[in-house]
Amino acid sequence: MKKNPFMFLLTVSLAILLMGCGLGKEKDDSSIVDSLGEIQKIEVIAADSSDVIITISDDDDIGNFVDALKIEDWDSADIPSEATKGERFKMYQVDTIKQGESANNKDLNRVATMTSYKDVPYIEFSLKNFSLDFKVPEEVYEYLNSMQ
């Protein structure tokens, strides 16, 4: 029962923040998965440093990453206090082009960061000024930890 308000908040927030220029396009489904599909680059940052260990920028690879997250199966939950942070996943996309701006500006801006945990199936998902904690399915936990 508690997860419903959090999932609604997450879905609405991500849809607004990540849709960008896609607002003018017709979509059959405006779910969070589609919003994350607008991401143009994901950097996987090592747990013990600030080194980028993988960069995902191919549309198919980003789609596979988003599918593997199984977002619809996440449950809002507090991260255990003994949990150790693992890899971080920084997500980027081009800002929405505003009236009077050139379409040639292709600078990517970070729109979200997801932090995995080493020994427990939890993630922290951060957007701008807030973050939400989730328990994720075991296969999502294994997938994120295989990105090392």
pLDDT at position 109 is: 87
Look at residue 101 and give its three-state secondary structure: coil
Specify the CATH number for the domain of residue 100.
2.60.40
**Phi-psi category of 10—alpha, beta or left, where left has phi over 0 and alpha has psi -120 to 50?**
alpha
Helix axes 59-69, 138-145, angle to 10 degrees: 140
Q: What's the rounded mean pLDDT across residues 131-141? A: 95
Range of the domain at 86: 3-145
Whether 18 contacts 24, CB under 8 Å: no
Structure confidence by residue, pLDDT tens digits, 35-66: 666 789 999 999 888 899 999 999 999 999 99
**Phi-psi category of 128—alpha, beta or left, where left has phi over 0 and alpha has psi -120 to 50?**
left
Into how many domains does the chain fold?
1
Q: Is the pTM of the predicted complex or chain greater than 0.85?
A: no
